[in-house]
Amino acid sequence: MIKVDSVWYEYPSGTVALRNVNLIINRGEIVALMGENGAGKTTLLKHLNGLLKPTSGRVEVDGVDTRTTTVASLSRHVGLVFQNPDNMFFCTSVFEEVSYALTRFGYTGEEVRRRTEEVLKAFNLWHYRNSSPFTLSGGEKKRLAISIVLAWMPSYIVIDEPTTGLDGWGKRILIDLLLNLKDSGRGIILSSHDVEFISDIAERVVLLRRGEIIADGAAEDILTDPALLEEASLLTPQIPSLLYELKRRGLRDLNHKCLRLDEAVRCLSAILGRDGSNWRCDGV
């Protein structure tokens, strides 16, 4: 469990980025931290592996206070993927980039090779194994950055803006991988303002605004609440936005707390008929 307890953080410039943040993240769950640019998401993520220490309050990772240990030691348990992948690369080949951390964490030669190959193949990067990471496209770099962390299988995987630069195909691969990791008992923490991606994957959403948590709850409650999302300067995802509009225009029995396409088809078909042919609404 990661426990964030009454955390305040003030940057040396005097900017207060986190204000009394309280949060518990368990293994086996996917939690999305959401909010507009500058809400404090990245600052909070950097506290989870000890890169930043609270100005006041405390952060514990499986009972260990982040102020009492090193970032290197915490990183074994909490893998952090930065928003800009270029910040993570320094090796001359894609293969080395993934295997470097594994070697540092004490894995043996064959295990390093096996894990590196496995993760590069999962992200369709194996054919680039001898290329320089800096020659990859934006989306490929993002996939590589995530591969590096997944290779050592930390207990908690923290990804800052996972979908930046990813195309539809990259997002689908990532969703499958993250769901598998969750099922294997890992805690996944994502910071994102991509409401459509988060709708497809997260069960729990934490909304941040100006360094404060303004909501923490089930994704289907938070991501279907336009007023709350507006408060956090986020758009309502397309599906609940449509269902909300239909409800406003007279379909009062419609369940608007649907996030995913298959759920929406079920909800709408139940009321409208499979192709909308039962659509009757005197109020419109």
Is 196 among the residues that bind other proteins (CB under 8 A)?
A: yes
Helix (H) or strand (E) holding 62: none
Backbone angles phi, psi at 7, to 5 degrees: -85, 130
Is 36 among the residues that bind other proteins (CB under 8 A)?
A: yes
C-beta of residue 156 within 8 angstroms of C-beta of residue 25:
yes
Here's the x/- map for other proteins, 103-142, by CB under 8 A: it reads as ---------------------------------xxxxx--
Is 168 among the residues that bind other proteins (CB under 8 A)?
A: yes
Contacts of 203 (CB under 8 A, 6+ apart): 29, 30, 31, 218, 219
Minimum CB separation from other proteins for residue 209, in Å?
12
Is 161 among the residues that bind other proteins (CB under 8 A)?
A: yes
| Binds other proteins (CB under 8 A): choice among 158, 234, 254, 256 | 234
Contacts of 276 (CB under 8 A, 6+ apart): 268
Taking the chain, what is the end-to-end CA distance rounded to the nearest angstrom?
Answer: 50
Residue of 71, 65, 64, 36 whose CA lies nearest to 50: 71
C-beta of residue 211 within 8 angstroms of C-beta of residue 19:
yes
Is 155 among the residues that bind other proteins (CB under 8 A)?
A: no
Q: Which residues lie across from 18 on neighbouring strands?
A: 9
| Binds other proteins (CB under 8 A): choice among 29, 38, 58, 179 | 38
Among 20-28, 62-70, 106-114, 161-169, the segment contacting other proteins (CB under 8 A) = 161-169
Task: Name the site residues for other proteins (rule: CB under 8 A).
Answer: 13, 35-38, 83-84, 136-140, 161, 164-172, 193-196, 233-235, 237-239, 241-242, 245-246, 249, 261-262, 264-265, 268-269, 272, 274-281, 284
